Structure 1
Amino acid sequence: MENGKECCCHKTKKRSEKEYKSLIHRLNRIEGQVRGIKGMVEKDVYCTDILIQVAAVTAALNGFSRELLGNHIRTCVVNDIREGKDETVDELVALLSKLMK
């Protein structure tokens, strides 16, 4: 529970093979980049060189988020609206508000 509210993590989504592979590929690359940054810290690499790699990871995470959000809108949101679940629009607006902080 977060801030006294139930987590929405009980929902699931079956992803297509293509979507799944793309997201996992991105996450694997990001994981490798983070391990690389850890290695740089362990080897006492100069701060600016590490910060450049941190910026690359940040950009990669933003790309992952954009892809996931786009897929969410094209599938979950569209399907819910077609089924008359107008509360999904409010959920999307709240999500966008959190993402834009």
Structure 2
Amino acid sequence: MTGDDDSIALVLNRLRRAHGQLGGVIAMIEQGRDCKDVVTQLAAVSKALDKAGFKIVATGLRQCLTGEAAEGQQPMTEAELEKLFLALA
């Protein structure tokens, strides 16, 4: 993934948070915790992953609109961005 340092840092933070939350879900299931608590935590993991994905798509869209791309890479086409966005929907 390419992009500005702030965008990359935000994505990495969200993914690290989701990683920790997923570990918590696994531990909760192993401990036999209440279904409601497990599902609530799992929903938080899903939301964190969605936010990371949308940030990646938004970064790609910005690069496409401004014509910016990493050295040696082509900006994403509209069709590629649409496919990525729909994959998250």
Is the structural similarity TM-score above 0.5?
yes
Distance in 1 (CA, whole Å) between partners of 2:84 and 2:15 is: 21
Q: Unmatched 5+ residue regions in structure 1? A: 1-12
**Structure of higher RCO (CA pairs closer than 8 Å, 6+ residues apart):** 2
Q: Count how many residue pairs are aligned between Structure 1 and Structure 2.
A: 82
In the TM superposition, what are the counterparts of 1:69-84 in structure 2 within 5 Å?
69-75=57-63, 77-78=64-65, 79=67
SS of residue paired to 1:18: helix
Q: Unmatched 5+ residue regions in structure 2? A: 69-73
- Structure 1 residue 35: deviation in Å? 0.5
Normalising by the residue count of structure 2, what TM-score does the alignment of the two structures yield? 0.77
SS of residue paired to 1:45: coil
Structure 2 residue 69 is matched with structure 1 residue 94: no
Distance in 1 (CA, whole Å) between partners of 2:31 and 2:8 is: 35
- Structure 1 residue 28: deviation in Å? 0.8
SS of residue paired to 2:77: helix
Structure 2 residue 44 is matched with structure 1 residue 56: yes
Structure 2 residue 18 is matched with structure 1 residue 30: yes
Distance in 1 (CA, whole Å) between partners of 2:36 and 2:9 is: 33
CA RMSD in angstroms comes to 2.1
| Identical pairs, percent | 27
> Structure 2 counterpart of 1:31, which letter?
H
Which protein shows a greater Rg? 1
Normalising by the residue count of structure 1, what TM-score does the alignment of the two structures yield? 0.69
